[in-house]
Amino acid sequence: MADEKKRLLTGLQSSGQLHIGNYLGALKRFVGAYADYESMLMVADLHALTSVKNPAQLREGIIDVVADYIAVGVDPTKATIFKQSDVLEHPELAWIFECLVTVPFLQQAHAFKDKVAKGLEANAGLFNYPMLMAADILLYDTDVVPVGEDQRQHIEYAREAAAKFNLAYGDTFKEPKEMILEGVGTVPGVDGKKMSKSYGNTIPLFGTDEAIRVAVMSIKTDSTAVGAPLNPTTDITFQLHQHFTPNLAEIQKRYMDGTIGYKESKELLAHNIIATIAPMRERRAALSREAVIQILKDGAEVARARAQAKMKDVREKIGVGLY
């Protein structure tokens, strides 16, 4: 008998328009892996509450995330797509983990410190974020989680939560592994920092052609004169060419020869991004809001059944499962 597939879980916050960093760092890697795994895709709407306070924006963000996943090629009949808030066991398990870990442990979170440094409100949800993420992962006996290199700590937190619970109450949770996609790393934004909505340095994934061009043309460059050689190892535009440009070796040679300037390089990049996204945009336009909602409802049934079964065991072990 063939071995059972391992389970993969990933998720995206419904906190605004997705960008090409989301595509390269999460969407693309999920499409490339989910056929080989029993896969679950979560719309992290509860996580989004740490920063989104506008109900209409959050609702549209939920629809957009699902539509974006379908657009990039995810088959909803082969992956479970669900909304985090449809499964109440997520915050329940997060609370249990919060009662096992310490404040100094949570204070070590890179993401919390980084977001506070960028001016985000240091609310309790943002501080406790790692334990809700641990619950997201551990609730489904997840084997692997696709993450960027800079997100490795999230999986370490999940493993630590699993280990603490298992030590206190007996073997219950599987310790997951991270899936790091080689060659992606941290996708740079137009200013050279990590591409992030909170930095305002993104190139929209499904923006108009003009919006994509404007974003690409705003990429930060140095003052090297036209006709002088350019350094592909430090140029932000070239780093993005590596993900969208098929004739990369030719572009690199022109950089070294000084036969391409920043303006032409950006124009080529914008053209190649638009060409990559065009078929995805068509799929997205053909997807109705009603179809997205049905996908979420169907996925919620599958996720809820798994979560409820897991939490029945957890409740009995911690002593609250009396009936």
CB 136: neighbour CB atoms within 10 A?
A: 27
DSSP-assigned letter for residue 26:
I
Residues designated catalytic: 115, 194, 197
Element (H, E) at 44: strand 38-44
Distance linking the first and last C-alpha atoms of the chain = 37
Rounded CA Rg of the chain: 21
Q: In whole angstroms, give the CA distance from residue 158 to residue 102.
A: 14
Contact 138/177 with Cβ under 8 angstroms? no
| Paired tokens of 237 | 């535009």
Nearest to 149 by CA among 188, 179, 115: 179
CA 150 to chain centre: 12
Q: Which residues of 102-114 are buried (b: 16+ CB within 10 A; e: fewer)?
A: eeeebeebebbee
Phi, psi of 292 (to 5 degrees): -65, -45
Strand partners for 152: none
| Paired tokens of 41 | 């895709």
